[in-house]
Amino acid sequence: MKKLYELIEFQKLGDEFGELVVAECGKHIPFDVRRIFYIYGTKQGVVRGRHANRKSRFLLINMFGSVKIKIDTGKKKDVIDLNRPNMGVYLDRMVWKDMYDFSEGSCLLVLSDELYDSKEYVRDYQEFLNEINNAKK
Ligand code: TYD
């Protein structure tokens, strides 16, 4: 079965002078990237996300500091601590996500296969559950 989310460990190609990480579409990123955005300067106690996306898939990489990603597939819940710049979390469509516990200086880079479209967001949790249950029928 196709995974709805997955932790991705990027190889570090650094040397004694410092680190370097590469992510190529089709090789490490499971889609072609059409959009990037990043979240930084997040105040303490803030929870971002709180939605699912009908069309977009994502790869989240926290470039600096740490952030927790709560993932809810409707069947399973998980929390991933993104605390290294060489790790990422892949999120398929229709996965509910919360981002929280942003450390000071955290910079969360998000790659997506879709351009922004506010209509593809599901912001109501019950609606999210209804849509995934209806899709299974
Ligand atoms: P977002 O944090 O997704 O909105 P909200 O806080 O309402 O959940 O996005 C903040 C603003 O940025 C919102 O006005 C929508 C806009 N935005 C874009 O224009 N393009 C994008 O790719 C994203 C993620 C947000």
**Is it true that domain 5-135 has CATH number 2.60.120.10?**
yes
- Span 124-128, mean pLDDT? 98
Residue nearest to ligand 1 atom 8, measured at CA: 49
pLDDT-derived band at 90 (thresholds 50, 70, 90) equals very high
Catalytic residue among 12, 51, 54, 84: 51
Q: At residue 34, does pLDDT exceed 70?
A: yes
Is the Cβ–Cβ distance between 119 and 75 less than 8 Å? no
- Span 53-61, mean pLDDT? 98
Is the Cβ–Cβ distance between 90 and 51 less than 8 Å? no
Please confirm, yes or no, whether 51 is among the known catalytic residues. Answer: yes
- Span 83-109, mean pLDDT? 98
Q: Which atom of ligand 1 is nearest to the CA of 110?
A: 24
d(CA 93, CA 86): 23
pLDDT recorded at residue 59: 98
Q: Which atom of ligand 1 is nearest to the CA of 118?
A: 15
Q: At residue 52, does pLDDT exceed 70?
A: yes
- Span 85-90, mean pLDDT? 97
